[in-house]
Amino acid sequence: MDLLTTLVDKGLRRELPTREEALAVLATSDDDLLDVVAAAGKVRRHWFGRRVKLNYLVNLKSGLCPEDCSYCSQRLGSTTGILKYTWLKPDEASKAAAAGLAGGAKRVCLVASGRGPTDRDVERVAGTIKAIKDQNEGVEVCACLGLLSDGQAERLREAGADAYNHNLNTSEATYGEITTTHTYEDRVDTVQKAHAAGLSACSGLIAGMGESDADLVDVVFSLRELDPDSVPVNFLIPVEGTPLAKEWNLTPQRCLRILAMVRFVCPDAEVRIAGGREVHLRTMQPLALNLANSIFLGDYLTTEGQAGQADLDMIADAGFEIEGTDQVTLPQHRAEHRTAVGGGCGSHESACGGCGGCESHEGGGVCGTATAAATPTVTEPRTEPRTDLVTVRRRGAGTDLAPNA
């Protein structure tokens, strides 16, 4: 396909595709899907080789959020039955982080529900960052605490944070339909504050909320303009008790096209498959590693992921390798830029929403005196929602049970 040849050439040069080209990726047919994956995979391997970065989430404060984000199980008035607890103590958070690091993660993502942190909250998180870094040499820490006030990004940087996550989630045109208690501009402002403070900015999206292809392209082009080091791609987990609980709009094929589009638009950024990969990509997850160079290990904020060992096996079986703490995630030109502006480790985050083929068989048989070919059995594409794959987290942070890592 001429389109794919053009997109690969542009990706290797870090040249921005046109909106029409990005839309065309989303419009490709399932028959062309493997060609799309192979093309975007060339771009991914050019900038990141076959490394996969592992990240681990620690939910410092769960539920109890005053914001009304429609996708979030921690929202105001939530009836989801998730774990609800206030701030973990630094030693509790450090213990939770240790499980993920022992499983191969090189980054810990500290997340707290709420509109944004108070200065006291920033102090709490600073203590947690210190506890984690004192016990784990070379670990990266990303904070995700909501909207930042003036000076807070700088204090987090001084406390040892390497990155800050705040997702745009959806296009500016449709943001008001998803959230009313803060604005799209508020989110952009927080990402800019993180940049200005020398933190590695992490900002991404949530797909599957009923948005159009144009909305997806709009938000990814906005992210390209903000230029975060890391772009997490979340696939909506429709949790019962949230306004978007009935929004089952994704197929594994669409998820792969979305990831390919993000890679073409943000060729040299860390693209992370975040929340919802098990629910929507399902058995197609290994293919997605050809598009993204980063995933979360184990569970998410309020829902469970697949077993941590299954993640490690998947990476090895697909022919990829886990990125070590001695390796720099970002391409050299990005890493050097991060160092020049006072950034951290240069390999940077989150799945936080922000608060957070078919198979046929042939055979023959005897029918009278004639042999007839059996009609091939064709498995129809799955169309019903896999609600059975959504499980509320009942282990790890905030519980007495061992975490999944």
Q: Is residue 154 part of a domain?
A: yes
- Residue ranges with strand state E in 150-281: 163-165, 200-202, 205-207, 230-235, 270-273
| pLDDT at residue 284 tops 50 | yes
Active site residue 352: no
| pLDDT at residue 340 tops 80 | no
CATH number of the domain enclosing 325: 3.20.20.70
Q: Is residue 365 part of a domain?
A: no
- Of 107, 157, 202, 254, which residue is the catalytic one? 202
pLDDT tens for 287-296 read: 999 999 999 9
Q: Is residue 396 part of a domain?
A: no
More confident residue, 84 or 285: 285
Max mean pLDDT among 235-244, 367-376, 390-399 falls in: 235-244
Structurally, how many domains does the chain consist of? 1
Q: Is residue 382 part of a domain?
A: no
Q: Residue 346 has what pLDDT?
A: 38
- Of 72, 255, 345, 352, which residue is the catalytic one? 72
pLDDT tens for 128-186 read: 999 999 999 889 999 999 999 999 999 999 999 999 999 999 999 999 999 999 999 99
- Alpha-carbon distance of 299 to 287, in angstroms, equals 20
More confident residue, 253 or 397: 253
- Of 107, 157, 224, 272, which residue is the catalytic one? 272
Q: Residue 315 has what pLDDT?
A: 97
pLDDT tens for 15-58 read: 999 999 999 999 999 999 999 999 999 999 999 999 999 999 99
pTM here is 0.88
Q: Residue 72 has what pLDDT?
A: 87
Q: Is residue 375 part of a domain?
A: no
Q: Residue 302 has what pLDDT?
A: 82
| pLDDT at residue 277 tops 70 | yes
DSSP category for residue 79 = -
Sign of CA dihedral 181, 184, 185, 187: positive
Active site residue 65: yes
Q: Give the tokens for residue 132.
A: 């984690």
More confident residue, 402 or 230: 230
- Of 107, 109, 255, 266, which residue is the catalytic one? 109
| pLDDT at residue 386 tops 50 | yes
Residues 6+ away with beta carbon under 8 Å from 349 = 55, 107, 109, 142, 144, 163, 165, 200, 202, 230, 232, 270, 272
Q: Residue 73 has what pLDDT?
A: 85
Residues 6+ away with beta carbon under 8 Å from 1 = 32, 35, 39
pLDDT tens for 207-256 read: 999 999 999 999 999 999 999 999 999 999 998 889 999 999 999 999 99
Q: Residue 324 has what pLDDT?
A: 94
Give the 3-state secondary structure of residue 58: strand
| pLDDT at residue 380 tops 80 | no
- Alpha-carbon distance of 350 to 145, in angstroms, equals 12
Q: Residue 379 has what pLDDT?
A: 55
Give the 3-state secondary structure of residue 207: strand
More confident residue, 70 or 364: 70
Task: Please tell me the number of Cα atoms within 13 Å of 22 on its side-chain side.
Answer: 26
Q: Is residue 353 part of a domain?
A: no
Q: Is residue 173 part of a domain?
A: yes
- Dihedral Cα 384, 36, 226, 325, nearest 10 deg: 90
Summarize the confidence of residues 191-202 as an average pLDDT.
97
Give the residue numbers spanning the domain of 226: 2-340
What is the band of 342 on the pLDDT scale with cuts at 50, 70, 90? low
* H or E segment and range at residue 107: strand 107-112
Summarize the confidence of residues 270-295 as an average pLDDT.
97
Q: Is residue 27 part of a domain?
A: yes
- Alpha-carbon distance of 191 to 196, in angstroms, equals 9
- Residue ranges with strand state E in 188-317: 200-202, 205-207, 230-235, 270-273, 294-296
- Alpha-carbon distance of 327 to 320, in angstroms, equals 15
- Do residues 107 and 323 make contact, with C-beta atoms less than 8 angstroms apart? no
Q: Residue 355 has what pLDDT?
A: 44
Residue with tokens 């197609």: 284
Active site residue 355: no
Active site residue 255: no
Residues 6+ away with beta carbon under 8 Å from 225 = none
pLDDT tens for 64-105 read: 888 889 988 888 777 788 888 899 999 999 999 999 999 999
- Of 44, 75, 124, 142, which residue is the catalytic one? 142
**Pure H helices in 80-144:** 90-102, 119-135
Active site residue 266: no
- Of 65, 266, 345, 352, which residue is the catalytic one? 65
